Structure 1
Amino acid sequence: MKALVRLFRTTAFKLSLAYLVLFGIGAALVLTRVQINVEDLFDEQTAQTIDADIRGLAEQYSEGGIRQLVEVIERRVRTPGASLYLVTTFSGELVVGNIAELPPDLPDQSELVEARYQRRGEATAHHRAMMRLFQLPGGFRLLVGHDLQDRKLLRGILRRALVASLFWLIAIGTLGGIIVARRILARLDKLSASARRIMSGDLDQRLPLMGADDELDRLAGNLNAMLERIEQLMAGLREVSDNIAHDLKTPLTRLRNRADAALRSASTTEHYRDALNDMIEESDGLIRIFDALLMIARAEAGYCSDFMGEVDAARVAADIAEMYEPVAEEHGARIELAAAEGLTFRGNRELLGQALVNLVDNALKYGANEPGAVVRVAARRAGDGIEIEISDRGPGIATKDRDRVIGRFVRLENARSRPGSGLGLSLAAAVARLHGGALRIEDNEPGLRVVVALPTTCADATRPPSAPVAPLATGFAAGTSPRAR
């Protein structure tokens, strides 16, 4: 009983019931209209039959007068049928006919009307007929009509057809609604069971697809994609937590050891000053790491939508190249700029600059180890979007590591001995996603090419109303950046 009640409460059954009611109303209206049209057609045919009888009797009356008319009517009334005839004197006495008496209040020379009548030989039975009354010379009256019993029978047949049609419509519709509801309910039960397993902690579980490509399959597919994203975020959160625990432990330990060493061995003001400078430098490194994490989190959450505006990508690329030209000279390298004109898009200039700072810093760190090395900064239009490219001639990144390297705190083996936190590429990727674009890591043959692909129009990210928003990427304005790769 509970299962049946649950079935009746499903949306599918309610929709089926609603469609059933609509179809029932539509069928009733159609059959009612059919009945009306059939009755109108029957009445029209009856009127034509009566008119034909009247014309025939008029010819008989013209040829032989009242006597011949009475003889013709006597022959006709002896033949069973629906035709009705009656001839009376002026005083109402019956001359011939199959009707007991004239219907009351039937006017002479009337239009065709519907009236009740009684057949001769029937004491109580009354019928309805279409009839017309004429006044003949000599005071005689002639009534010609047609019984409507056939119309009554036809009306009954149509009404029974209407009731039967509605009955079968309700029966078949209810049965179809139950079948559809059961199928949908079974699929929803499977989806609910999978959802419960997921909520219990089995994040590898996915909602089942039936292969029908209907709305439930599309919904399940979208939810599965959402679960994939959630699983990735959870895995990233676990990895970030582990990386923070490992990568921050070293500088914090170093900071403590230097403070402890200063307390134990420092004997002069100069020794204390040097120890404090070392501690400040370590603290600045920790602050840069947390600033980078904050920027990545805010960029991925879309908290920068209030700072979107028209940005000239070529101008940003030129500023970065100019800012890093002295740094490149220190490495014995040079910055090569190739920026097209008119590369404007809607975005956050400060965040884009911080991302490019990280990429150029990486290129100089890993791709400018030899005198005469070139780091290329290019900005160009690509289809409907804009691409900003930072390329070098260094060792590059293996294909298998290119997806992994954009994760937070991910550092490859050849980068372990160099300063950095492994957040630069992650920040650049987050900035690209914020603008509706993507970060591509490609082979420069030799070296590495990193491309920031951006659309020319960017929908503002939705920011939770309670989240505070502050200007980001202050490192770009100061000319500093988190060390990446």
Structure 2
Amino acid sequence: MAQKSLAQKSLAQKSLAQKSLAMAIALRVALATALVCTVVFVLVYAVLQHQSRAALQATIDTDIAGLSDIYRVEGPDGLSQRLRERLDLAPTAGERPVYIVVDAQGRALVGDATQWPKLDTAVSEAGITKAGDETILARVTQLRGGVKIMAGRSMALAEQSLSQTRLLFLAALVLIVGGAFFIGEFGARKLRRRIGAINGVFDSLYDGDFKARTPATAGRPDELDALSGHVNLTLDRVERLLKAQRDVSDNIAHEVRTPLTALNQRLEDALARIDDPEAITSLHQAQDQVRGTLRLLDSLLDIASAEAQRGDLRALPEVDLSELARQLCELYEASAEEAGLTLTADITEGIVVRADAMQMSRLMVNLLDNALKYGAAGSALRFTLRPGPVITVEDEGQGVPDADKGRVFDRYHRAHASMAKGHGLGLALVAAIAGRHNLSVRVEDSHPDRVNKGARFIVSPEGGA
């Protein structure tokens, strides 16, 4: 039982780690950094690309203006001669110049380009085109006599430069995002430790340690310090309230139980000294009322104690639940026979759990008492214990109406008010003791297809079948 509780807590802590808010913040910081850096790069890259092409275009425009002047002064032959000289001296790599001059009939006169680009000479259009396998930036224009000229520059050097810029950006992006994540994760780790300390306090509360408090941090107080302060103040108040509750319970137990016990004893003494039958009957009724009040007080205190210790199994000893259940069933066999019922027990041996033996006895006794009270005469009662532990008690009585199944474990509620005796706290105590041991209890019909549907009460681990 305790191992299952620890496993559930370990699973909850693992789930918390997987869904860490601090880590999510670190990831968001890294993603935001990556997004901002990418946007900045796109803008810078677009500016560099524009400036690179603008500079190259300015060079081409200057070049084509000079060639136009040469053509105007020296004519076609002079232009051809100058272009050959330029091509002989031009570099073979980088921003290599590319030219072509064609006559009015479209015949190439001079140049190293193999074909005329798809650019409009009427408007001296400029643009990116191809010269073989090479990408070039070019401008075309029309000279006198129908001669057309194209002057261009290879974009290989500009593209290489932009490619290197992209690589540098990717490297910088990795470093910046990695650095941002590292810084964010470092801060997240510190935040996670501080939040973990606060969660640790609540884990201690779950284990019943109401003395645990969140530690104060050195340096300037921040939001988590304020939260820790509020948690500590709340825990101080809870501890005082619990102490007050225990004091009230102890006072009730002492101030109410003691005079009731004394009153019961005086009634016993009075019964022993009088012979009047009517007085004896009246005293017996008064004695029954006193004993009923004592039982009511005991049940309320037991319920309050069980609910206050809910889930706290650390200090509980290991109990052989199988042996405890077997002894109780042996005792109840005679009571069942007197009530005209048959009790059968099916108990798996060797079921050992951490539990309060007295409380678990009360749980099983209350379920058996309930079955004896409402079981149909001549029918069978069944008690089953399986690993888990799973405790099942069945009868063949009227059963619990569907409308009452959700309220049958409430204090003072009785499903069959006309038949019921007592204060309606037996099943409420069963639910409280079950919750104290990380168990839950539910009721269902034993025989849904019969007139007497019967009731099946099942105690099993919380969250289990």
- Bin of the TM-score, shorter chain as denominator length: 0.3 to 0.5
